[in-house]
Structure 1
Amino acid sequence: MKIAFSPCPNDTFIFHAWVHGLIPGAPKLEVTYADIDITNSLAATCSGPEVVKISYAALPWVLSEYALLPCGGALGRGCGPLVLMSSRAANTGGPAVLTGKRVAVPSERSTAYLLFRLWVSQNVPGGVSDIVILPFHEIMPAVRDGIVDAGLVIHEARFTYHTYGLTMLADLGSWWEAETNLPIPLGAIIARRTLHLSAIADWIRASVKYAWSHPEASQEYVLSHAQELSPEVAKAHINLYVNEFSVDLGETGYKAVNALLSRAAQVGLVPRVDLVPDSAYII
């Protein structure tokens, strides 16, 4: 079975057991490791993988071919994307300092960018000028080097941005939670509708539970894909993004996803969808 997910610690931690043949009855996986911008694009093609990690923001465009699985993704509190600037620029004012500025983002259809657009519409008079798409690990160096004025970052960047001399202008997860009192939906696991979806969900849940029961087993695998992160940062990343929603979105998780996509649809940023949870997956 072909699967695509990011090389980030939360994904490699979650899928380690399945990738290494430790889940009884689960098929062997052929893995593509790629940044979210690439996995979003893969899911939009006819030849995309059977199972793929995408941004929740990209979900409305792929639901005709893929179903949202209720596990394995990234959704939580205190884990939202950050807007970063150089310390000097960020200290010149609040969010309005972004007016007319050039901003790097990790993907046009990332949840981070969708949140950013919603936040900008409320907080940045006149909006920004240019959006530059960069792999997420290139964003902080681009801000530091003055290639862009600001950057929208995800994942472990929240633990490392200070080493680039950058300052947080806004925590979009905190903004979202204050607005909605809901967790932030970041990354979704989807599978082709032609597959045995409940079985795939069971294998993913088993892989998550194995990772929690054997936290040291995945360490070498996680660090080999973690783009030179220290073990401490990789562990902090996993602790933040792998949580109860990784096993089951539940009522709160689905409510958060619907809230994000309905707000975005109201202002024309995504097609309108109405997601209703099934016992195993959205149909």
Structure 2
Amino acid sequence: MKIRIGHTPDADDAFMFYGINQGRVNTSGLEISHELQPMQQLNRWSLEGTLEMTAFSFAAFAQSFRHYRPIQCGISLGHGTGPLVVARPETSEAEVKAGLLASPGDLTSAHWLTHLWSPGQQTRQVRFDQTLEAVLSGDTVAAVVIHEGQMSYREAGLKLVVDLGAWWHQETGLPIPLGVNGVRRDLSEAVQQQLAQALHDSIALALREVEPALDQALPLARGLDRDRCREFVLRYVNQSTLDPGPDGLRAVAEFYRRAHAAGLTPEPLQPDWVVPATS
């Protein structure tokens, strides 16, 4: 059976899929291929149920849940850190909130989080790897930064206005849910479980073999050296990625509750998780 897996061409996803890419987890009977696309593209595809298994943001899942069930592992949780709002050194937080902010996509969790932090914020959709340039060129007052830009914005001469993951933790006491993987609902229960277990085992292997897994991740680190790549990857791929635990599941519920209250989604979604057999 052919299974197309969608994930981003980023270091943390490459690390997460280490075991699957190495052929060292059970994918018996499945013909796996990988579709590497920016998260905003994966989010758009998820709305149509394009791929059999894919990463998407929790924001996108509010619209794609009719096609997918989320897997209760492989969840990107920010523990006191998350997407960053950055600006030029002379720009105040008040000026950011009153101005135009570059956003990595309206289907990203970072976009939702921005509007929870600053209701009514003016935003412009910019490809995630061009958000810093939007600020430097003067096109926008500030930017929401995700992925490796979180490690390099200072080198670009920008300052941190707010860490949205830290803000969320101060508000809720919980980690911030950012991304999740899902399997299409029209797959059999057995295949859904097999894919969930394969993802779990792939992450577990990467966490046991960090340095070899980093070898796979580093070419996608967009200029980060090995030490900073390791820091970035392990920030978002760790034991809570294997098992979000009660706090992680509460965080997802709270994210959807607040998004619904803010008018970002018409209903407070209650995910029906695919839980790996061993976790």
Question: Is 1:119 the counterpart of 2:83 in the alignment?
Answer: no
| 1:201-212 map, 5 Å | 201-212=196-207
Q: What's 2:211 paired with?
A: 216
Question: Is 1:228 the counterpart of 2:223 in the alignment?
Answer: yes
Match of 1:36 among 35, 39, 43: 39
8 Å CA contact 1:85–1:169 kept in 2: the answer is yes
Question: Is 1:144 the counterpart of 2:136 in the alignment?
Answer: yes
8 Å CA contact 1:70–1:250 kept in 2: the answer is no
Question: Is 1:163 the counterpart of 2:158 in the alignment?
Answer: no
Q: What's 2:51 paired with?
A: 49
User: What TM-score, normalized by structure 1, do the two folds share?
Assistant: 0.90
User: What TM-score, normalized by structure 2, do the two folds share?
Assistant: 0.91
Three-state SS of the structure 1 residue aligned to 2:153 is helix
8 Å CA contact 2:70–2:271 kept in 1: the answer is no
8 Å CA contact 1:76–1:245 kept in 2: the answer is no
Greater shift, 60-69 or 15-24, is seen at 15-24
Distance 1:166 1:187 in 2: 26
Q: What's 2:232 paired with?
A: 237
Greater shift, 224-233 or 159-168, is seen at 224-233
Distance 1:279 1:103 in 2: 36
Deviations along 1:180-206, one digit per CA (max 9) or x if unpaired, are 111000001111012222221111111
Kindly tell me: are residues 128 and 65 of structure 1, through their superposed partners in 2, closer, same or farther at Cα, counting changes over 3 Å? closer
8 Å CA contact 1:72–1:189 kept in 2: the answer is yes
Question: Is 1:250 the counterpart of 2:245 in the alignment?
Answer: yes
8 Å CA contact 1:254–1:275 kept in 2: the answer is no
Kindly tell me: are residues 128 and 183 of structure 1, through their superposed partners in 2, closer, same or farther at Cα, counting changes over 3 Å? closer
| 1:266-281 map, 5 Å | 266-275=261-270, 280=275
In the TM superposition, residue 145 of structure 1 has moved relative to its aligned partner by 2.1
Q: What's 2:80 paired with?
A: 78
Q: What's 1:175 paired with?
A: 167
**Long gaps (5+) in structure 2:** none
The amino acid of 2:244's aligned partner reads L
Distance 1:113 1:223 in 2: 27
Distance 1:10 1:156 in 2: 9
Kindly tell me: are residues 225 and 99 of structure 1, through their superposed partners in 2, closer, same or farther at Cα, counting changes over 3 Å? closer
Distance 2:95 2:217 in 1: 38
In the TM superposition, residue 276 of structure 1 has moved relative to its aligned partner by 5.4
Deviations along 1:94-137, one digit per CA (max 9) or x if unpaired, are x321244121111101111101001102xxxxx444x2211211
Aligned length: 270
Kindly tell me: are residues 263 and 96 of structure 1, through their superposed partners in 2, closer, same or farther at Cα, counting changes over 3 Å? same
Distance 1:262 1:118 in 2: 11
Deviations along 1:14-71, one digit per CA (max 9) or x if unpaired, are 102102312134534211111111110011124x111111111111111111001101
Match of 2:182 among 190, 209, 214: 190
Q: What's 1:124 paired with?
A: none
Kindly tell me: are residues 11 and 155 of structure 1, through their superposed partners in 2, closer, same or farther at Cα, counting changes over 3 Å? same
In the TM superposition, residue 210 of structure 1 has moved relative to its aligned partner by 0.9
Distance 1:35 1:267 in 2: 26
Identity fraction in percent: 29
Distance 1:278 1:234 in 2: 30
8 Å CA contact 2:72–2:273 kept in 1: the answer is no
Distance 2:102 2:272 in 1: 34
| 1:81-92 map, 5 Å | 81-89=83-91
Greater shift, 28-37 or 201-210, is seen at 28-37
CA RMSD, Structure 1 to Structure 2 (Å): 1.7
